[in-house]
Amino acid sequence: MKTYRDKNRRRLILATLVLMLSVLSGCATVGPMSISMGRSDYNEAINKTEDEQMLLSIVKGRYGETFSLLAVSGVAANVRFRTNADFDFGFGPERNYVGELTPFSGGLAYEENPTITYAPVQGEQYLRQLMSPIPLDILVLSFRTGTHSARSLTMLANRINDLRNPDFHDSRSAQAGPRFQRFVELVTELRSAGVLEILTDSRKEVPFNILISNYAPAYSGKVREYLRLLGLSMPRDESEDITLPVYFAVKGKELHGMAISTRSTFDLIQILRAAIEVPPEHVSSGLAINYPARGLAGENIHIHASKDKPKRPAVSVRHRGYWFYIDDTDMRTKLFYRMVRSLWSVSITAAADQRAAPVLTIPVSR
């Protein structure tokens, strides 16, 4: 009998050690794996649904429908571990159970229970940010650091001195676009040549300065045209640098520099709504809002509509029996949409204050 007890005691000790090692090694492995695998999945899901939510709100706005937004304010992913172990012991003569018992069996499992917290986007702060002009430093940063600087300037600025860049064309603005477009072409060329730079004003008298240097004689003609479009004169001595202060304002007679006014995020949303290719039956029935012809900022921007699910969408949503989508190869529209989403997200984040608004927390079922 002592031999049986010793064998069972050794088996119990061995099983306990194996179980402890399994739990410890499982914790050490599953924890990092859940972060490396789960984080990208959560991020991708949030990014995809954010794109879809914004596109759907743009489409609904074209149809004159109301819409609401929910901001993801928190994701809590709780990991629960479960272990199990079975022990079989034999009593009596060994010949009665040898080969029929499993001395030890065990297992380790874990389950992930995410909890998503949403905050409704609403209130005066959200509306003010959405409708306010985009700050000048955002425009300058986008122009200086972006690979599509000319496109950023055309999108965000609606007036530079007397050069107008309207959202939509009317009888007064029909000739405004080409002059603004030529100005953007000159800025891009002079900047690429190292002749024109945008600098922060260290004296803080104005936010930024335009510095034009080393332009004669190769670029004298283009600098003269650039200044003429701004309503400014060329210096007599073309060897001297030209410094133009940049103001966040509408040009006044007393300003000898560059006055810039910008669009709001809501203006850009309206341009995107006008870019929706509304199905013919919705146009004829008067379901959708009509917009005038788009200006420079909205040229060649397309949100397509199709009865069939698109094959290569960058983002797509279904509404009123149609798929509305941005084609994955349409880089111009994707750039515009990305800019709008970035600016819109700033307004949403600022408004989604959990202390000021009710919060909806949803545990995801297993």
The ranges assigned to domains in the chain are 2-46+76-119, 149-262
Render pLDDT for 274-293 as a digit per residue (tens, 0 to 9). Answer: 999 999 999 999 999 999 99
The continuous run of DSSP H or E covering 336 comes out as helix 331-351
pLDDT at 202: 73
pLDDT at 354: 44
Per-residue tens of pLDDT for the chain, all 366 residues: 555 455 556 655 555 555 555 555 555 455 555 555 566 777 788 788 889 999 999 999 999 998 888 777 777 766 565 555 555 555 555 555 455 545 545 555 556 667 777 777 777 788 888 899 999 999 998 888 767 788 999 999 999 999 999 999 875 555 567 899 999 999 999 999 999 999 887 777 788 999 999 999 999 999 999 999 999 999 989 889 999 999 998 876 567 889 999 999 999 999 999 999 999 999 999 999 999 999 999 999 999 999 999 999 999 999 999 999 999 999 999 999 999 999 988 877 766 654 444 454 545 544
φ, ψ (nearest 5 deg) of residue 125: -60, -40
Q: State the Cα–Cα distance between residues 72 and 46, nearest whole angstrom.
A: 8
Neighbours of 25 (CB within 10 A): 11
Task: For CA atoms 243, 245, 250, 255, give the dihedral sign.
Answer: negative
pLDDT at 234: 93
pLDDT at 194: 92
Residue 244, beta-bridge partner list = 210
Residue 72, beta-bridge partner list = 118
Token representation of residue 343? 């600016």
Render pLDDT for 317-359 as a digit per residue (tens, 0 to 9). Answer: 999 999 999 999 999 999 999 999 999 888 777 666 544 444 5
The strand ranges marked E within 121-249 are 157-160, 163-164, 196-200, 208-212, 242-248
Helix, strand and coil percent figures for the chain, each rounded to 5: 45, 25, 35
Q: State the Cα–Cα distance between residues 307 and 316, nearest whole angstrom.
A: 12
